[in-house]
Amino acid sequence: MNSSSSSPSIAPTSSEQALREKDLALSLTLIGAIWTLGFIGHFTPLKEWGALFLYVIGSIALALWLGKRCDAFERIFISRQNLGKALLWSSVVGGVLFAMDVGNTYFYYKNGGEPMKEMQTILVDMGFLYLFPVLIVAEEFLWRGVFFSALLRRGMNAHLAVGVATLLYMLNHYAVAPVGFYERSLMAMMALPIGIAGGYLVLKTRNVWAGVWLHSLTMISMILDIFLIPSLARP
């Protein structure tokens, strides 16, 4: 082929190169530190609270640092790009997941399922219910923002990237949830549709706020699962 008709290679900008040198390594380092701290804490009176604190603060700090340091907010999907589209699609998909979750939980309790007593203690007695929005933003910034975009930047198949990010997101619930194994498993199961749907929504819109809004809707359904559905299913 004639050289004049071939497409010229485009060298990455300095900010893109800086991001590629940091994003995946730093996100994996943070995940490893969270899991290690959670494992150690599980065998101490501190339990997983230290890991949960590092998870929330570390995820937000990492996303903001990379975005500012590498001029990369759009490349880690934290931007206003396609915001209307992101919120519209996440409302539709989130509404479906909301209805499915509430319906499944109703029949779960109707058939004698056990309530999530430890989560209820944490949310109500310890007053952590109002911190859920911060947790949601932290989770989405890490899993559907920094980590997911890093996998895509390295050429990973988009479907595989959604699957890998979702799997690690599910496993993360065992490292940071200061509750028993049974309730951790329920939370990990809830994370599966959030991870898959949120991953594809962010992939479609290139905007992490699609994942944040979807996650918020499913979190509202989880709160109903804990506080309202048991009384409706067990009059």
**Residue 12 — pLDDT band, cuts 50, 70, 90?**
low
CA gap 141, 233 in Å, rounded: 36
Residue 13 has pLDDT above 80, yes or no: no
The answer on pLDDT for 108 being more than 90 is no
pLDDT of residue 235: 60
What was the pLDDT predicted at 171?
97
What per-residue confidence (pLDDT) applies to 77? 97
Query: What's the pLDDT score for residue 112?
Result: 84
- For 15-69, what is each residue's pLDDT tens digit? 788 898 899 999 999 999 999 999 999 999 999 999 999 999 999 999 999 999 9
- Give residue-wise pLDDT tens across range 161-201: 999 999 999 999 999 999 999 999 989 999 999 999 999 99
- What confidence score (pLDDT) does residue 215 get? 96
> Is 35:175 a contact under the CB 8 Å cutoff?
yes
Among 202, 230, 190, smallest CA distance to 145 is for 202
- Listed in sequence order, the residues at least 6 apart from 53 whose beta carbon sits closer than 8 Å to its beta carbon are none
Using 50, 70 and 90 to split pLDDT, how confident is the model at 8? very low
Mean pLDDT of 132-159: 97
Cα–Cα distance measured from residue 37 to residue 43, given in angstroms and rounded to the nearest whole number: 10
Token representation of residue 152? 């895509």
pTM for the predicted model, two decimal places: 0.90
Return the pLDDT at 16.
81
